[in-house]
Amino acid sequence: MRAARWFAPMIFAAAALAAQAHAAPLAGEAAALHVLNRLAYGPAPGDIERVTRMGVAGYIDSQLYPESLALPAALAERLAGLDTVQRSSGEVLGDFLAVRDMVRDETEDARAMRREVLARITSQTAEARIARAVASPRQLEEVMVDFWFNHFNVFSGKGQVRPLVASYERDAIRPYVFGAFRDMLGATAKHPAMLYYLDNYLSKAGGVNENYARELMELHTLGVDKGYTQKDVTELARMLTGWTFAPRQVVARNETFRFDPKRHDQGEKQWLGRLVKPQGQAEGEYALDVLAVHPATAQHISYKLAQYFVADQPPPALVERMAQTWLASKGDIRSVLKTLFASAEFMAPEAQGAKFKTPYQFVISAARAAYAGAAGGSAAMLPEVKPVMGALDRLGMPLYGCQTPDGYKNTQAAWLNPDALSRRIGYAATLAQGTDAAQLQAALGGSVSARTRDIVAASPPKIRTAMLLGSPDFMQR
């Protein structure tokens, strides 16, 4: 790539910049930039001045209680036009099943209709997520949707998950991102996307499927090697037999979950040192109650949150304080986030720029910055979804495309390599077309280092925007 030579000195400086500590405590514009890069997908024009003026504490509080933040009219209008994300699970699944069955009909018309329906489901689901992430003033809400979707990951490429992803995010993730963890745990457990993805809809007495039970303990709650045994996994799977759904009933009545007593293992279970008597669906509900407030769950998810918002290796003392808040609040996510954001560790000078952006964070923050700096400079301008999805595919992080239940990683080790940097620079060069470099640099403010500003200023004008978006400064958050 011809443009890559202009970025070479900056690429090799990325790791050093990531580790560089600032001498002075974070305050003023530096503090505003820090919270915009962590609680939001980077600054849009005017954001740095606005957050500096209102104060970091005020901004954090507004993001933790986003109900009062109205969506821009352009965004609300765009979302309203996406029928896939407005319709029920049953309606979208019905369309999917209808065209899936057309596979028996080999006419070109049937194939064309199938492609059209599948493309509409995929693109509209992605467009809703991307449009919100780029343009919503409720930035922390969008950041938490990304965090929790990865925590409770489902893979859209697996059969019936594809038409259910929009509903899964809308109904099982989004309403609970600041609420009680137990509520989100139950909503994901009962959603047909999760039931199908991890095969629990097939699990029955005499034919127990352990996939969901294992990930429920290992990924969703307790964590790996937290004192439970294979027997505990099997017993939990038995407790969850009969938790299922019937696709035709989803279509006919939008019945997204059903407990089938005929499929349930009615025997006693020994789970985590507890005797569980036969109680039907209540056995699974009891398991979720226990797991949601277990000390290991508090530690596991506090670590993941601190890793996401502070550092790849988060300070143990911070994780412990967050875990104690988790236990005291019975898993209230907003309370745990308050402990995190109020901590000295979160606002420490060395925390600024210490996180390397995932491909999703990079693409969304670039879209926010570039489209806001485009001709006319309107923050309401929204990108076309296909180029963004294509960029995420090329960068190895397709939206809703993680096949494994552990979701995408958010650490530098997972994403920093020469090939990935080259691909990011290529996307920056494409996105830079039509974007004013001076407007972009003004929007990014102090996040652009003096070294980067000097290199950009000495470069040909036509590549300055791409150099800003492809710089090590912009790769960090």
- Residues with Cβ within 8 Å of 424's Cβ and at least 6 positions away in sequence, in order, are 359, 362, 395, 470, 475
Q: Is 66 within 8 Å of 165 (Cβ atoms)? A: no
- The mean pLDDT of 141-150, rounded to a whole number, is 98
Q: What is the pLDDT of residue 116?
A: 92
Structural tokens at position 380: 């309401």
Task: Say whether pLDDT at 18 is over 50.
Answer: no
- Higher-confidence residue of 374 and 53: namely 53
Query: Where do runs of H (alpha helix) occur along 40-180?
Result: 47-54, 56-64, 73-80, 83-86, 89-101, 108-135, 139-151, 161-167
Q: What is the pLDDT of residue 10?
A: 44
* Residue 343 to residue 458: CA distance in whole angstroms: 40
* Residue 389 to residue 393: CA distance in whole angstroms: 6
Task: Say whether pLDDT at 145 is over 60.
Answer: yes
- Residues with Cβ within 8 Å of 134's Cβ and at least 6 positions away in sequence, in order, are 41, 364, 367, 368, 371, 382, 383
- The mean pLDDT of 5-23, rounded to a whole number, is 42
- Output the average pLDDT for the chain: 91
Q: Quick one: which H or E segment has residue 137? A: none
- Higher-confidence residue of 297 and 436: namely 297
Query: What's the pLDDT tens digit per position in 342-372?
Result: 999 999 998 888 999 999 999 999 988 876 5
Q: What is the pLDDT of residue 377?
A: 39
Residue-range domain boundaries for the chain? 4-69+353-475, 295-351
Cα separation values, 137 from 35, 131, 287, Å: 14, 11, 37
Q: What is the pLDDT of residue 370?
A: 79
- The mean pLDDT of 402-410, rounded to a whole number, is 98
Q: What is the pLDDT of residue 24?
A: 52
Cα separation values, 187 from 182, 264, 283, 286, 377, Å: 9, 20, 16, 14, 40
Q: Quick one: which H or E segment has residue 371? A: helix 359-372
Task: Say whether pLDDT at 454 is over 90.
Answer: yes
pTM, 2 dp: 0.93
Q: What is the pLDDT of residue 114?
A: 86
Task: Say whether pLDDT at 322 is over 90.
Answer: yes
Q: What is the pLDDT of residue 104?
A: 65
- Compute φ and ψ for 131, nearest 5 degrees: -60, -45
Q: What is the pLDDT of residue 45?
A: 87
* Residue 458 to residue 44: CA distance in whole angstroms: 25
- The mean pLDDT of 178-195, rounded to a whole number, is 98
Q: What is the pLDDT of residue 25?
A: 63
- Residues with Cβ within 8 Å of 108's Cβ and at least 6 positions away in sequence, in order, are none
* Residue 1 to residue 425: CA distance in whole angstroms: 9
Question: What's the pLDDT band for 9 if we cut at 50, 70, 90?
Answer: very low
Q: What is the pLDDT of residue 380?
A: 47
Question: What is the CB-side half-sphere exposure of residue 121 using CA atoms within 13 A?
Answer: 27
Q: What is the pLDDT of residue 358?
A: 98
Query: What's the pLDDT tens digit per position in 214-226?
Result: 999 999 999 999 9
